[in-house]
Amino acid sequence: MKTGWIGLGAMGAPMAGHLHAAGLLHGAWNRGAARRDAFADAYPDAAVAESPEALAEAVDVLALCVSADADLAAVLDRVADRLAPGTVVVDHSTVSPAAARSAHARLTQREVAFVDAPVTGGVEGAKNGQLAILVGGDAEAVQTLHPLFDAYGKVWKHLGPPGSGQAAKAVNQLIVAGIAEAVCEALALVEKLDLPADDMLELLGGGAAGNWFLDKRGRTMLADSFETGFEPALLLKDLKICRALADEAGLESTVLPGAIADYQRLVDGGETGRDISALIRLKR
């Protein structure tokens, strides 16, 4: 199987790296040159493609890990006509279920399969190949992708028709945002009350408040470091997808309006660092 990879960001680069280590990566490409160069430096024996068009013509599977609906559409504009019938496109970006269904419809016309497969587990999960993968699409195409999922996934599930993976990811992000709000407020309160930080991290993590975000980000937040992780602007994009889905489904959410307002304020203020834990700055 020859796999191409488009999108070498904080998640995409280590994922493509795992694919390369598994001997499955034919070539990788990124829109911005800086990340192409960084990938070439990190994996000197991996091939960086000249263009997405060239990559699309050379592979059996094309994996994408870009940012938003518009980025997915822009990639498809460039590659759709170059993909041979029978090719499988798998998108690891987080986009709206509607964008995934639209991509599926567009490629199906060309006898190309499209699978939506957003991931969760953070940059840590991408680096150590321990991602959870949320998969929507046609069963036969999903079957083709097992070797890829094995390369960077800890657990993956085929959840239903096209768009199901993205719907599931929106649900995931609702939890991620709710936890981020609660933990950022709690640790701001720890600071304000002058409670001993290290002891509090151990106690909070050891009981019914325990969660991934506190475990992975608690210490860095309290050290005012927001260098590693998941960018606030991306979570904000995901939460707007989730709000649309919740509205459609008739869920009256308490969490989403507050989280969207807070992350909008954080992003507008500009002091976001590279991780959603920077929300603590609003709470101090």
Stretch in the footprint of a copy of itself (CB under 8 A) among 2-10, 37-45, 107-115, 176-184 = 176-184
- Output 68 or 134, the one with its CB closest to a copy of itself: 134
Among 169, 216, 237, 283, the active-site one is 169
Query: Which position among 10, 68, 141, 179 is part of the footprint of a copy of itself (CB under 8 A)?
Result: 179
Closest approach, Cβ 222 to a copy of itself, in A, equals 13
Query: Of 4 and 229, which has the nearer Cβ to a copy of itself?
Result: 229
Convert residues 11-40 into a mask of x (bound to a copy of itself by CB under 8 A) and - (unbound): ------------------------------
Does position 70 interact with a copy of itself (CB under 8 A)? The reply is no
Q: How many CB atoms lie within 10 A of CB 70?
A: 11
Applying the rule CB under 8 A, the residues between 227 and 246 that interact with a copy of itself are 230, 245-246
**Residue whose structure tokens are 């160069």:** 37
Interaction residues for a copy of itself, span 114-143 (CB under 8 A): 119-122, 125, 131-134
The answer to whether 127 is a known catalytic residue is no
Question: 13 or 119, CB closer to a copy of itself?
Answer: 119
CA distances from 62 to 83, 160, 184, 188 (A): 9, 21, 38, 44
- Tell me the sheet residues that pair with 64: 6, 91
Establish if 250 lies at the interface with a copy of itself (CB under 8 A).
yes
In sequence order, what DSSP letters do the residues of 96-148 get, joined into one string?
-HHHHHHHHHHHHTTT-EEEE--EESHHHHHHTT-EEEEEES-HHHHHHTHHH
Q: Which of 5, 6, 37 is nearest to 21 (CA)?
A: 5
Q: Is the CB of residue 96 less than 8 Å from the CB of residue 166?
A: yes
Residue 254 as a binder of a copy of itself (CB under 8 A): the answer is yes
**Partners of 5 in beta bridges:** 28, 63
Compute the distance between CA of residue 78 and CA of residue 90 in angstroms, rounded to an integer.
16
